[in-house]
Amino acid sequence: MEHASFIFGSWGITAVSVGAYAIWVLRRGRELAKHATREEMPWT
Amino acid sequence: MAGQSGTGTSATRRLGILVILMLATLALCGLWFSAEDVVQGSTVRIMYIHVPSIWTAYIAFGLTALCSGVYLSGKNRSLSWDRVAGAAGEIGVLFVAVSLVTGSMWGRLTWGTYWVWDARLTSTAFLFITYVGYLAVRQLGGTHRQRARRSSVLALLAILEIPLVHFSVTLWRSLHQEASVANPNAKVELDGLMLFSLFLGLVAFTMLFVWLVLHRQRAMMLEDAFSDRGLDVAITARRNEAGA
């Protein structure tokens, strides 16, 4: 594939940045939920 | 304490799995199975993430403005509106950044440069900076209500930039191409799998956005609850001190 480094690079940057944010959001939620009461988590 | 279930539910878990499957299919179609473009060649493969990224950012900022408008309208002053607005704004900033980076990589291959001070690129960079400012304003001190009021006003002003960004290619002479696939007047013939990849990207990124908003606004709800709890503890301590 021509320009493979740019194409895979752009896909890689997207995957890493969005993936890192998603993991951060999940970990942040889990960390906060450890100290939360049931009343503070109406979705449970 | 509620335990370690986090911000997920069975519905978000199912949605998350669906999003992963759709993104994996997008990668296969966009990077391998779809044909190269007759004009752009292999660089068209960057479009399958570049276009969905800015699409998601538009949706995110639209939701930020909508929730901010509902909050300010006074019909429903629930802070949930503000938290959804904040979560969507944060995710929108991420996707604008992705769009700018992937766009500049595509520009390097197509135009020979990573960046030009073109109307579309400049207005998109300005949009990014505006919403970084929106997130900064959310971090200023004060009560949750003060945060909600000031950030809602800013969100309603910032959304005015979206039409400016979108129509910048027609309002000014621009290096960036005009709308092609979505433009009924543009006679663009797209291979079936190329169109499918583009459409799949839009749907997958939109669903990813929904998943992220659900988790992030719940985490924000907990942050607000802990902040209130801390405030309650401080007030009780001051009352005890005063009474002692």
Residue B93 within any structural domain of the chain: yes
Q: Looking at this predicted complex, what is its ipTM?
A: 0.95
Residue B193 within any structural domain of the chain: yes
- B105–A32 C-beta distance less than 8 A: no
Asked if A26 contacts B106 with a C-beta cutoff of 8 angstroms, the reply is: no
Global pTM value: 0.90
pLDDT digits (tens, 9 = 90+) for B63-95: 999 999 999 998 778 999 999 999 999 999 999
pLDDT digits (tens, 9 = 90+) for B87-123: 999 999 999 999 999 999 999 999 999 999 989 999 9
The residue type at A39 = E
Residue-level pLDDT at B228: 86
Residue B48 within any structural domain of the chain: no
Residue B21 within any structural domain of the chain: no
Asked if B7 contacts B219 with a C-beta cutoff of 8 angstroms, the reply is: yes
Residue B62 within any structural domain of the chain: yes
Q: How far apart are CA B205 and CA B194, in angstroms?
A: 16
Q: Is A24 on the interface with B (CB under 8 A)?
A: no
Q: Is A41 on the interface with B (CB under 8 A)?
A: yes
> What residue in A sits closest to B92 (Cα-Cα)?
A18
For B169, the domain range is: 53-230
Residue B204 within any structural domain of the chain: yes
Residue B47 within any structural domain of the chain: no
* Helix residue spans in chain B (DSSP H): 10-28, 44-73, 79-110, 119-138, 144-158, 161-166, 168-171, 192-243
**B191 Cβ contact list (under 8 Å, min separation 6):** B34, B35
What is the number of domains present in chain B?
1
Residue B157 within any structural domain of the chain: yes
Q: Is B101 on the interface with A (CB under 8 A)?
A: yes
